[in-house]
Amino acid sequence: MYVVPPPQRSDSGSNGDLRVYQTWKGSNIFFLQGRFVFGPDVRSLALTICLIAVPVTIFCIFVARKLMDDFSDSWGVSIVVVAVVFTIYDLILLLLTSGRDPGIIPRNAHPPEPEGLDGNMDAGAGQTPQLRLPRIKEVELNGITFKVKYCDTCMLYRPPRCSHCSICNNCVERFDHHCPWVGQCIGLRNYRFFFMFVFSTTLLCIFVFAFCWVYIRKIMESEHTTIWKAMLKTPASIVLIIYTFISMWFVGGLTAFHLYLISTNQTTYENFRYRYDRRSNPHNKGVINNFKETFCSSIPASKNDFRAMIQREPPLPPRSVAGGFMSPNMGKANDDIEMGRKAVWADMGPAMSEHGDGKNGNNERLHVKDGELGELSPDIRTTVDEQSDRPGMHPRRSSWGRKSGSWDMSPEVMALAARVGEQNQNGGGSSSGSGLVTENRPT
């Protein structure tokens, strides 16, 4: 049996000129042709930069510049230089945290091969048993058994300490959390820079906070006034003191929390999910080794080359059935011919739906084409037309077991045919027979 093969893909829509970042299935946003990868909430990065740069700018203009006159030699200039350099360093750490691959695991194009059959699936005759992937697998790493879960989105089993970020829509190695302030996931490849960014921001807040008080102290000494009057003379210092005091509680508390996580070799996700403080942590190597692993170990290379060219996809392989190819239309109405049904019966749908099944079965052959009656004699053809017009006639059952128009002649037709034969033998001719049949038409 020949079945039409599926159509081949056209080369007009080829992906040969596209790069990986242009067809990336995650929610990431790329800049500079895939050189920088950010999360979908990258706009929050601009807010974070403003929250750092604007207060430092106010400090340099209204506080540090005034302190240059109060300190001799280069001490006054060093205050401005330290503030500017420390801010630039802090912003660089922010970009290193936000603009790099945090440890994304590439997706699989196809799910992994199932390891066994599903025992609950009964395979009947002619049916293939259903193969299912286990949701959880146990893997052994360094003598410790871990349970890894299957990710339906990435079609892979996540390695230990890996989790799927619902915001970036990627599986990230050593997933810590998704930080909205940097607009990126925090994972294996950027956690070090994230902690350094938070810690340096805390130090910057302390630096600005301290020198604002130094400037107020200088005003009190130079004008011999109270602290309240000195504060009124520099409202910028008051605003910066309040701002940095609030910020220190936020970034300072975050720094202390991550120092605890580093010392116990935990991630934020593990701390809130598994609560290792109530049971043994299989990743804990001791305080010193934990800090060495975070700050002294080499950062692994990215598993994704976002600027690589996409290989042209091969055409989809046809699905075979019984040693052949499956047609895209297999199982549809045009297979009725091979199933023993003739295409002419497809025109019966409207007549059957209007009159119901079995009530007006002779209408099944009301739409017979003239060519199908050409081989009959005019007498039988006229009689068949009469029979189709009679309301009391019903179709016969064919050998196929279903109702259909039948060319078996009724007794009336047989009687008419006998009379026509007698007239022909008597020399009456076919025309008189035809006229006799016409005269017996019902009015």
What span, in angstroms and rounded, lies between the C-alpha atoms of 120 and 131? 11
Contact 255, 227 (CB under 8 A): no
What span, in angstroms and rounded, lies between the C-alpha atoms of 240 and 358? 92
First CA to last CA distance, the chain: 53
Which residues fall within 8 angstroms of residue 265, CB to CB, at 6 or more apart? Answer: 281, 283, 284, 285, 290, 293
What span, in angstroms and rounded, lies between the C-alpha atoms of 269 and 171? 13
Structure tokens at 190: 């950027």
Q: Which residues are catalytic?
A: 179
- Partnered with residue 31 across adjacent β-strands are 36
Contact 315, 330 (CB under 8 A): no
State how far the alpha carbon of 116 is from the alpha carbons of 134, 150, 306, 374, in Å.
9, 15, 35, 64
Question: What's the chain's length in residues?
Answer: 443
Q: Provide the H-helix boundaries in 300-401.
A: 349-355, 378-389
What span, in angstroms and rounded, lies between the C-alpha atoms of 80 and 73? 13
Residue type, 162: C
Return the closest-CA partner of residue 106 out of 25, 28, 34, 160: 25
CA max distance for the chain: 152
Contact 108, 156 (CB under 8 A): yes
State how far the alpha carbon of 79 is from the alpha carbons of 63, 89, 316, in Å.
10, 15, 66
